[in-house]
Amino acid sequence: MRYELYYQPSIQGRGEFVRLALEDAGADYVDVARDPAFGRPGIVKILEDPTVEHPSFAPPFLKAGKLMIGQTANILQFLGPRLGLVPKDQASRLWVHQLQLTITDWVAEVGATHHPIANALYYEEQKEEAKKRSAFFTSQRIPKFMGYYEKILTQNGNARPYLLGRKICYTDLSLFQMVEGLRYAFPRAMAKVEPSCPRVVALHDKVMSRPRIKKYLASPRRLAFNENGIFRHYPELDEA
Amino acid sequence: MRYELYYQPSIQGRGEFVRLALEDAGADYVDVARDPAFGRPGIVKILEDPTVEHPSFAPPFLKAGKLMIGQTANILQFLGPRLGLVPKDQASRLWVHQLQLTITDWVAEVGATHHPIANALYYEEQKEEAKKRSAFFTSQRIPKFMGYYEKILTQNGNARPYLLGRKICYTDLSLFQMVEGLRYAFPRAMAKVEPSCPRVVALHDKVMSRPRIKKYLASPRRLAFNENGIFRHYPELDEA
């Protein structure tokens, strides 16, 4: 099946978590807004089309045959078994989805570091509040989230380097993306935290060295981080 | 099966979305932290127990036989088919879960109105920022979220008053809770928005009149809203 991913064309954003799963699996997909045959208007059209049966509140959303699925974690839980990125038993699927939803919470907190007052305002209009919020995020929340995943990997033990154990799942790919994004946005804070989370760092490295991911990261399909996305590098928000 | 719900004992919070589903279905469950036989230490103990196989980042979490499930929306998607609160076909389950995850996002934004800088600080320490954030939340975000669900109900038409159509699903119960909570926290803002969202209001009323929900709301099991929860009434944050 050819999947259609609908997301903004110029940022990694939440769409990137879906892209990583599709890329790692070598799935056939079109990134609609970046495809010359469709383009960005395609998303706006669908978001405003009153005949769409299951409209999304916001991108990303995925078209898979007749299904139209929104919410990043929901898309991943749908794709997971199809792409071989989660086992089919219920217990594994629920657990991986839980771990993914905690990533969702984490991503929202990242976004709030540069937009603590409103997404409708520019960063420059909420810079002072952003500094305050980021100070708590880098000193308390990054260690807490990183520590949570480190704890799970520690419980798994050395022979089971992924969140589920021996086999990779889609949330491993998302955790890789969190580390990448946080290193870009808060390099000094991450340099402090990473030594206490060696298993998360090792997982990041394992994901990055997977052949399809490696190829993807080197391709033009992987957008660079920038200051319009979720992970933004504003040096004044990082730790001293 | 007797479900065990683990959540804070003195607030509705995120646990309430799970309670409403269990109550509406007349399920057998114990609200562990509020049960004299267990108590609040039971939660902390589990959160810190290194032998728990699937530890949650935060409450609520649910014990169902051997399964331990965290993240509110994940718990609801697990309970849904068991409690008759979602059809068993995949398309319905994905759609209802998507609608629930948008409620999750909305709840996080509610929490940020009184804690825009950090959950680790008291409200009084971030009151000025909270006023700024709430002004955007009440004027832009409440109408946007309410309008999204109103649009879906409008598409369904008069004969299909629930989000899925003729039959209630767990996200209808959560949408009821959003209206209740927002009325408590921002009565003036809601009074302005509600006239343009008659179908959401009608759904709220339908849920509230369901026999088991009615009984639950009148029981001591339903905690009152208060200023330790997600929905807090600080008059200075409401619209003028």
Residue located via tokens 């708590």? A136
Task: Examine residue A179 and state whether it is found in any structural domain, yes or no.
Answer: yes
Residues in chain A: 240
Query: A117, B101: Cβ pair inside 8 Å?
Result: no
Both B127 and B68 in a single domain? no
B215 shares its domain with B178: yes
Shared domain for B146 and B94, answered yes or no, is yes
Angle (nearest 5°) at CA A124 between A188 and A177: 40
Mutate to test the interface with A, among B48, B57, B92, B178 (most CBs of A within 10 A): B57
H or E element, residue A97? helix A90-114
Say yes or no: B163 and B228 in one domain: yes
Q: How far apart, in whole angstroms, are the C-alpha atoms of residue B238 and residue B240?
A: 7
Instruction: Give the domain CATH number at A139.
Output: 1.20.1050.10
Residue A192, domain member (yes or no): yes
Asked if A104's CB is within 8 angstroms of B104's CB, the reply is yes
B179 and B61 in a common domain: no
Same domain, B165 and B134: yes
Q: Do A133 and B148 touch (CB under 8 A)?
A: no
Q: Judge: B105–A108 Cβ closer than 8 Å, yes or no.
A: yes
Residues A125-150 pLDDT 10s: 999 999 999 999 999 999 999 999 99
CATH of the domain at B32: 3.40.30.10
Length of chain B: 240
Are both B143 and B32 inside the same structural domain?
A: no
Greatest Cα pair distance, chain B, in angstroms, is 52
Q: Name which of A57, A78, A121 is nearest B148 (Cβ-Cβ).
A: A57
pLDDT for residue B68: 96
| CA-to-CA separations, B93 to A26, A82, B27, B78, in angstroms, rounded | 27, 17, 20, 10
The confidence score (pLDDT) of residue B51 equals 82
The verdict on residue A10 lying in a domain is no
Please give the pLDDT value at position A48.
81
Question: Do B123 and B176 reside in the same domain of the chain?
Answer: yes
Q: Are residues B127 and B227 in the same domain?
A: yes
| E strand segments, chain A | 3-6, 29-31, 61-64, 67-70
A37 occurs within a structural domain: no
Q: Which residues in chain A come in under a pLDDT of 50?
A: none
A positions 36-65 inside 8 Å of B (CB): 50, 53-57
Q: At what angle do helices A211-218 and A198-208 cross, to 10 degrees?
A: 80
User: Å from A166 to nearest chain B CA?
Assistant: 15
Instruction: Tally C-beta pairs within 8 A across A and B.
Output: 105
Number of domains in chain B: 2
Q: Are both B110 and B60 inside the same structural domain?
A: no
- Interface contact B74, partner A, CB < 8 A: yes
Integer angstrom CA distances of residue A121 from A43, A118, A163, B69: 23, 6, 37, 37
Q: Which domain holds residue B16?
A: 3-82
Would you write out chain B's pLDDT as a tens digit for each of its 240 residues?
899 999 999 999 999 999 999 999 999 999 999 988 877 777 778 888 888 889 999 999 999 999 999 999 999 999 999 999 999 999 999 999 999 999 999 999 999 999 999 999 999 999 999 999 999 999 999 999 999 999 999 999 999 999 999 999 999 999 999 999 999 999 999 999 999 999 999 999 999 999 999 999 999 999 999 999 999 999 999 999
Q: What is the pLDDT of residue A51?
A: 82
ipTM of predicted assembly, 2 dp: 0.97
Question: Measured between CB atoms, which of A94, A105, A145 is closest to B78?
Answer: A94
Check if the beta carbon of residue A172 is closer than 8 Å to that of residue A203: yes
* Closest Cβ opposite residue B151 in set A55, A97, A137: A55
Residue A181 belongs to a domain = yes
B160 contacts in A (CB within 8 Å)?
Answer: none
* Whether residue B95 is found in the same domain as residue B9: no
Instruction: Convert the pLDDT of each residue in A220-234 to its tens digit.
Output: 999 999 999 999 999
Q: Which residue has the tokens 């109105």?
A: B113
Classify residue A240: in a domain, yes or no. Answer: no
Q: Are residues B175 and B221 in the same domain?
A: yes
* Beta-bridge mates of residue B3: B29
Among residues B82, B103, B136, the one where a domain terminates is B82
Which residues 2-31 on chain A approach chain B with CB closer than 8 angstroms?
A: none
Q: CB–CB of A52/A58 below 8 Å?
A: no
